[in-house]
A and B are shown apart, each in its own frame.
Chain A
Amino acid sequence: MRIFRDRAHLEEVLGGVTKWERTLGALRAGGRHLGVMYSVGDSLTTMRARTTAFATDDLVARRRYQCVLSPVDGDAAVEVAPVATLAPAGPYSDLTDRRYLCGDARRHTIRRGAVLVIGPDEAVRVLPVPDTTVTVAYVTVEGATFPNK
């Protein structure tokens, strides 16, 4: 898990790689419907919505697309834990790239404008903060060479 102060910080550290450039583009994008998932190339899917739309009972781990979250208009709260420390609450699904897990996790507050990047070996649970809108992107774990547009 990494928390970047803001998009500029993310760009400073991860910029120059197609998928992260696209992530930055997704975080900046406006004019889209709330609660509608969009995609940018093959790199990611992204949606802007209230945190309640992303909230789950269990922690969620993704293997092929890592979760990126950035609060838009308030602070967000998440719980994060290494997958290895958690117990499965269900099997992994290729269809959703999700595995639900349960166990102890550490709570983090993500400040407005900050960017949370969850690693593929971690699970995250978005906690409902009704007044906060976040942009979430699911970004490919594939490496630096990504020839698809």
Chain B
Amino acid sequence: MKPVTFRNMPLHFTDSSSAGAFDAHDWENPALTGRHRLPARAYFFGYDSAELAGAMDRRCSRGFVDLTGAWRFRLFDHPARVPAKVLVSPAVGWDVVRVPHLWQVDGYGRLQYTDEGYPFPVDPPRVPAENPTGVYQRTVVLPEAPPGERVVLRFDGVESYAEVYWDGAYVGMTKGSRLSAEFDVTDVAHAGVNHLVVKVLQYSDGTYLEDQDMWWASGIFRDCYLLTRPKAHLADFHVRTHRLADDRAEVVVSVSTVGRPEVICEVYDGERLVASAPVAPGSDATLVVEGARFWNPEDPYLYDMRLIVRGGDGTVEHVPHRLGVAEVTIVDGRLLLNGAPFMMHGVNRHDHDDRRGRAVGMARIERDLHLMKRHNINAVRTAHYPNDPRFYELCDRIGLFVVAETDLETHGFANVGDLSRLTDDERWQAAYVDRIERHVLAQRNHASIVMWSLGNESGYGRNIPAMYGRCTELDPSRPVHYEEDRDAEVVDVISTMYSRVSQMNDLGEHPHPKPRIICEYGHAMGNGPGGLAEYQRVFETWDSIQGHFVWEWCDHGLVATADDGREYHAYGGDHGDVPNNGSFCIDGLVFPWQEPSPGLLEYKQVICPVRVAYADGVCTVTNRRWFTGLGDVVVTLETLHDGRVVGSRTLTPGPVPPGGSWSESVQLDVAAHGETHLTARVLSTAAHAWAEPMHELGRYQVLAADRPRRPASAVPTGAVTARAEGTSLLVTTPASDRFTVDLLSGGLSWHSHGRELFQEPPRVGFWKPLVDNHQQEHDELWAPRLLPLMQTSTREVSWHERDGAAIVTVRSRIAPPTLGIAMQTVLTWTLAADGVRLAVTGEPVGDYRDIVPRIGLSFAVPGDLRRVDWYGLGPGENYPDSRSAATVGRWHSTVDEMFTPYVVPQDCANRGEVRWMTLTDPHGDGLAVRAVDSGPFAFSAWPYSAAAIDAARHRTDLVPQDRVTVNVNHRVLGLGSNSWGSEVLDSYRVRFEPFRFALDLRAVSATAPHHTEGLAA
């Protein structure tokens, strides 16, 4: 299709078919980045009045016509199969879709997920000939435009290649899926009924530059609209701010115009005009703001800037901009904002909605950002493409640093052994530079943007310095990041991804002259990440480390419905897509339904901006914010005796400055017996759009005292009677509890209060349902050794009576099939009138001493024992290397509530450092477990079996069973984040080595009041 020639085109347009290196279709020519697309510019709107401008509602801007909503749509399997007539007139019988959307999410074509591999043969710049092509038609009814008014058609996101037709005339073409594109349609648009057609190809040469780790999906996925501009109008503006003094700032404005209008810049602080100046095109206007209040993410103060544009024909256009006074500099290798150092506590965020894919609405985006703020996050990396233009406005307003990345990733070339192939190919340079140019021009006026990022995982080559050059030419005021410039040859901020804790320490200890960030770490796939606290301690040790960004914000699961009507979330392979990377896209801190995972709660705590410590009767509160004081912070202190709150008080630190500390003497009421904990909850009294007053910033706890417990009063319970009968040992207590021991297997049954407490007898085990973050350990260590298949073979069961109890000793070998490695275990059951004590020892056989998922005991109890009470770490899920958000206390929940609904079911619900726990039915009857000499234990209780959880690929694969699976673990392996990144830290490794632990088990009853006191001991 050849473009038609426009009769006239007073606005500048690009037709960059300059290079002759490629002569194929427009969609297979990287030298051609667009046809007739208007130059990129800042995202702004013109309004007819100051009042309208003040509202900043683009729907009220000049000539705004919303083009979202219903469009006629048909998907063709080849661009050449699109009939020419559909470009000219409305088609009959086409489907109607709601734009913005991704057509695959709406059921056209097929969704596919790959992390890095291209879903077609790599043959750049060629893409599949059978290139799915969606054609959108829409009738646009327009009023008569004022004389000289220009009509502009704008798309904020179309993937991946779009040709635009208006009443059959070719308007232009654009590539760069996540970059805005504008076309001047003045000469084709007319009053009355207009026929707008957009032809969208799924693949183009641009696809090779858009190989981000996400669903392959296409369409008009962001808003599109019309706007008009007066004959003489503002074409673009650029505003920079400089800190002149603590209370004085300079605002430098430059503009480009069409038609020589007069431009005046005004800056308001609320209703008060604080500065104004005329702005001449081609030269800077400098305004000085006295008493300036600077923008930062903790105090995102914005001024109202207005550009008043007066044309010679009497038209006046008001262009508003929310201005943050923010200046980023690098001094002596440190990033400074308005002269102050800072650290970015960040996340990587993809656009994702579990019902709409990347066609994410602003309400969802805003909730994402609010959730970040509520979880102490102060920075977001737009991984790995520009966002909706309104995203940056929100970040300005809410207060988030933005690492503003452009739409570039060629990761799939790693699969052909040359990640840098396109990045080092000059024929692709125009496409690379186009992507940073349009991005910077569109977003550079936003205070929230702390640095530019040239893209992600595209290797290194000549096109990177070219991008850097253009980026700094357009915005000399901000530093530039690109992780694959690993030694920071050209970029201003050096960066790595997934460097381990000790590696970050190495890098911090011997710093590079340029500031450093880690742009991805803490891979949050499934249960995890673990080890964030250790990372944070390293980050905070070294001044040169100024940002860290967890991968990633949200799971990319898409809602699907099972045969029984229940919803689950789909991932790679669920749509028959081959190849795929399975659930590698389910790796967020937030579930697809936009609720926090336990990993996000952990992250919130480790980056809590207020630290509380207690030592020697003094409580110290430290401000870890970078820009603001603690005037809004209160700290509540609770004293707990064996988990019960016995006292509380509130501290008000006052306006402690950034980095400062405040101390207060605190006299603790220390328990005469048992444990005394001090728990501090840090609250902010400030009200925000994203949080109510008194929202919690974090919590801390210290064990202030651990004194010997009061000896339990001896209650005469009598002696059990024991007798062997066949292959069973029968033991009866004076209270009529009956134990039966299988003298062949060693299995124990326990009949108490009219029922069997064990639906499955306790067994020692080392396996638990695989978590994503252990997949590599599974593949390298556990699967080859068949650890998931370990079998128990009981070699000997013996028993005797002593001190009124029956003592049963069970000697077993727990080993995988086919191999010689094993754990020799000895379980010693003491079956007494008041309950059971179990002592377990293990001694390994063979040469395997590496890590195992756990060492513990598993059994099943009746299904109605669903209430759970415990004294230990809670209330939420916690693991040895992910427990910062948990405190020791008395908690209660239910088996169902404790089961974390990971998209891919896996081990979950662990509670650590547990002194005792009970599982009871609605009447209060059930089972209690208490730690004895070997220290606290960890437990989890599931409504499913371990095997069912391991086998399930989606939540809907799980069917509740009639029993509760209980795991009481002596040791649990840390989580790590090695689904992509950090292996489990050495201190959290559980090895296949000798072990010893002991537990007390008791039947509890609402009518047996002694149990609570006993358990508290």
Contacts and interface: CB of A to CB of B under 8 A. Distances in A.
Interface of A: 32-33, 35-40, 42, 45, 47, 49, 53, 62-65, 92, 94-98, 138, 142-143, 145, 147-149
A39 B986 contact: no
Nearest to B779: A145
A33 B513 contact: yes
Given A94-B531, A95-B538, A98-B502, 10 more contacts: A36-B513, A37-B509, A37-B511, A37-B512, A39-B503, A64-B986, A65-B502, A94-B986, A95-B534, A145-B776
A98 B987 CA distance: 12
Interface string B497-532: 011111101110111110000000000000000010
Chain A CB within 10 Å, residue with most, of B457, B498, B503, B534: B503
A148 B986 contact: no
B498 A42 contact: yes
Interface in B41-92: none
Contacts of B538: 95
A36 B488 CA distance: 12
B506 A138 contact: yes
Top 3 A-B pairs, shortest CB-CB distance: A97-B502, A37-B510, A45-B506
Among A62, A94, A97, max chain B CB count under 10 A is at A94
B642 to A, nearest CB: 30
Contacts of A36: 510-513
22 contacts: A33-B512, A36-B510, A36-B511, A37-B506, A37-B510, A39-B486, A42-B981, A47-B510, A64-B500, A64-B502, A64-B983, A64-B986, A94-B501, A94-B531, A94-B534, A95-B541, A96-B502, A97-B501, A98-B502, A143-B780, A145-B780, A148-B498
A51 to B, nearest CB: 14
B490 to A, nearest CB: 14
Classify chain B's interface size. Answer: 20 to 34
A148 B981 contact: yes
Interface centre among B534, B537, B776 (most CB of A within 10 A): B776
Contacts of A145: 776, 779-780
B187 interface: no
- Which of B500, B512, B538, B780: most chain A Cβ within 10 A? B500
A49 B987 CA distance: 30
Nearest to B494: A38
Interface in B665-704: none
A8 to B, nearest CB: 24
A96 B507 CA distance: 11
B502 to A, nearest CB: 4
Contacts of A64: 500, 502, 983, 986
B705 to A, nearest CB: 24
B414 interface: yes
A141 to B, nearest CB: 9
Nearest to A138: B506
B985 interface: yes
Given A147-B776, A148-B981, A96 B487 contact: no
B190 to A, nearest CB: 54
B139 interface: no
B501 to A, nearest CB: 6
Nearest to B414: A149
B530 to A, nearest CB: 11
Nearest to B541: A95
B496 interface: yes
Contact of A39 (B507, B776, B779): B507
A32 B487 contact: yes
A33 B512 CA distance: 8
A42 B486 CA distance: 12
